[in-house]
Amino acid sequence: MSSPVNLKTETSWLSAIKIYMNRRVIAMLFLGFSAGLPFPLVFTTLSTWLRQIGISKTVIGFFAWIGITYSIKIFWAPIVDRMPLPFITRLMGQRRSWMLLGQAGIIAGLLGMAGTDPAQHITGMALFALLVAFSSATQDIVIDAYRIEAVKDEFQGAMAASYQAGWRIAAALVAGAAVLYISEYFSWTVAYMAMAAFMAVGIITVFVISEPERNISQQTYLQEERVVNFLESTAHIPDVLRIPVAWFIGAVICPFTDFFQRNSRNALFVLLFIGIYRISDIVLANMTHPFYIDMGFSVIEIANIAKIFGVVMTLLGAFIGGVLVVRYGILRILLLGAILVSLTNLMFALLADNGHSTIGLAIVLSSDNFSGGLASTAFIAYLSSLTNKAYTATQYALFSSIMTLGPKFISGFSGLVIDAQGYIFFFSYAAALGLPAIFMVLHLMKQNSTNGN
């Protein structure tokens, strides 16, 4: 197996921390903000809005299936990876032009949600949320590609941490706490219009950053010879047929065959691990806000504790995770993150059993957000290390699609589970879903040690 880079390499603490001063690591903070802003607006924050106006938990659970959009982005990732946009790509480059297009779609969708009353037009709200999710997933494809291409491999842990920090600031403080405050003192319509305006952060960043260079390895050039050979052997076929097929081979077939060739017999195990690692926290996340409402917490309490206090711990977890990845390598921190996520999910069950407690909520959310930030940073670094920079967008989209498809599908039934069994059972079941990831990381560590990496 072609093991992920820097899995066990250790470096000094000072060198690990200095990585955060790199200008592209800093720029990733703002791109992470642009990526994190739309996500809760079609999930957790939206579920708070829907639950507050009396929409049933079962219907709210079904809204999680909008997240499948993020899980099937692999289907249009090759287009984002290879196809230029008319006029704009020539001016801005492949990555920056597609980022801008995704951001425009997010703004349009958020304005549509702002102008929709979900109590009267729940289908219309779902459609606008779907537009936001589709555009956000497209933006994610490009930002992930930029993150991997913009810096050396050893910087990926810091890039992941910076991305997580920006993502969490946007998702928790802005699209979380700020939305709840604005909705309380003004209206949900004003809140979502304000979020559309905040997307200016991403647009400005696109114009500030430079297009990354794409370094193609000799192995990749040999891989691309398939396209050349196809074109040479089909010269008798009209160009209108053979050129699209050649593009499909280079943009779709080559990225997949490259991954399986580099990972050989372990490729399927790696893909299964990717699909399982985050299942515990993704399944839990969709129903946390309805849980807060049903536990008797006010919107302001949720904003103060779940968003503002919680995001500090997430940023701390992401920062420490980035340093630990550089210091100790990826796999050890993946194991630590998997254990912490399962344990903190059990703490939600204890809170559900003990009842309304602001101190209890603060403790649970501090632990949950810290573990989530640490685990996510390590996992993003791991996925980045698996990617060939010649096929960055397509391969990373494959990994992130697999990462979320199963969990998002399962989370769609969360409301049904809670209505049937209650919150204590649900949180315990979410914690148990994280156990396979722990054993799979142990297997990867053993395999990595056997290979001498």
Contact status, residue 356 vs residue 297, Cβ threshold 8 Å: yes
Q: Is 212 left (phi over 0), alpha (psi -120 to 50) or beta?
A: beta
pLDDT at 208 over 50: yes
What angle, rounded to 10 degrees, do the helices at 310-328 and 330-354 form?
Answer: 160
Min mean pLDDT across 77-81, 104-108, 148-152 is at 148-152
Rounded CA gap, 205 and 34, in Å?
Answer: 9
Min mean pLDDT across 49-58, 236-245, 417-426 is at 236-245
Residue 1 inside a domain? The answer is: no
Q: How confident is the model at residue 7 (pLDDT cuts 50, 70, 90)?
A: very low
Burial class (CB in 10 A: 0-12, 13-18, 19+), 54: exposed
- For the stretch 299-332, pLDDT in tens is 777 777 766 677 788 888 888 888 888 778 888 9
Residue 4 inside a domain? The answer is: no
Residue 187 inside a domain? The answer is: yes
- Give phi and psi for 309, each to the nearest 5: -70, -40
Domains identified in the chain, total number:
1
pLDDT at 182 over 70: yes
What is the SS3 assignment for the chain?
A: CCCCCCCCCCCCHHHHHHHHHCHHHHHHHHHHHHHHCHHHHCCHHHHHHHHHCCCCHHHHHHHHHHHHHHHCHHHCHHHHHHCCCCCHHHHHCHHHHHHHHHHHHHHHHHHHHHCCCCCCCHHHHHHHHHHHHHHHHHHHHHHHHHHHHHCCHHHHHHHHHHHHHHHHHHHHHHHHHHHHHHHHHCCHHHHHHHHHHHCHHHHHHHHHCCCCCCCCCHHHHHHHHHHHHHHHHCCCCCHHHHHHHHHHHHHHHHHHHHHHHHHHHHHHHHHHHHHHHCHHHHHHHCCHHHHHHHCCCCHHHHHHHHHHHHHHHHHHHHHHHHHHHHHHCHHHHHHHHHHHHHHHHHHHHHHHHHCCCHHHHHHHHHHHHHHHHHHHHHHHHHHHHCCCHHHHHHHHHHHHHHHHHHHHHHHCCHHHHHHHHCHHHHHHHHHHCCHHHHHHHHHHHHHHHHCCC
Residue 306 has a pLDDT of: 65
Rounded CA gap, 383 and 264, in Å?
Answer: 17
Burial class (CB in 10 A: 0-12, 13-18, 19+), 65: middle
Average pLDDT over the chain reads 81
- Give phi and psi for 122, each to the nearest 5: -65, -35
Computed on alpha carbons and rounded to an integer, the radius of gyration of the chain in Å comes to 22
Residue 203 has a pLDDT of: 96
Which residues does 160 contact at the CB level (< 8 Å), separation at least 6? 147, 318, 321, 322, 325, 376, 377, 378, 380, 381, 384
Residue 32 has a pLDDT of: 94
- For the stretch 107-151, pLDDT in tens is 999 999 999 988 888 888 889 999 999 999 999 999 988 888 887
Rounded CA gap, 100 and 95, in Å?
Answer: 9
State how far the alpha carbon of 171 is from the alpha carbons of 269, 290, 306, in Å: 32, 17, 11
Residue 6 has a pLDDT of: 44
pLDDT at 410 over 90: no
Rounded CA gap, 223 and 300, in Å?
Answer: 56
Q: How many CA atoms lie within 13 A of 433 on its CB side?
A: 21
Domain span including residue 383: 13-450
- Give phi and psi for 72, each to the nearest 5: -115, 15
**Which of 30-34, 77-81, 351-355 is the most confident on average?**
30-34
pLDDT at 231 over 60: no
Residue 104 inside a domain? The answer is: yes
Amino acid identity at 139: Q
Q: How many C-beta neighbours within 10 Å does residue 252 have?
A: 19
Residue 6 inside a domain? The answer is: no
Residue 3 inside a domain? The answer is: no
- For the stretch 233-252, pLDDT in tens is 555 566 556 556 665 666 66
The fraction of the chain above a pLDDT of 90, given in percent, is 21
Residue 270 inside a domain? The answer is: yes
> Which CATH number characterizes residue 288's domain?
1.20.1250.20
Rounded CA gap, 299 and 56, in Å?
Answer: 18
Q: What are 422's two structure tokens?
A: 């209650």
Provide mean pLDDT across the span 156-179. 84
Contact status, residue 314 vs residue 370, Cβ threshold 8 Å: yes
- For the stretch 328-382, pLDDT in tens is 888 899 999 999 988 988 888 888 888 778 888 888 888 888 998 899 888 888 8
Rounded CA gap, 412 and 283, in Å?
Answer: 8
- Give phi and psi for 211, each to the nearest 5: -70, 130
Residue 224 inside a domain? The answer is: yes
Q: How many C-beta neighbours within 10 Å does residue 238 have?
A: 8
Rounded CA gap, 98 and 76, in Å?
Answer: 12
Rounded CA gap, 415 and 202, in Å?
Answer: 34
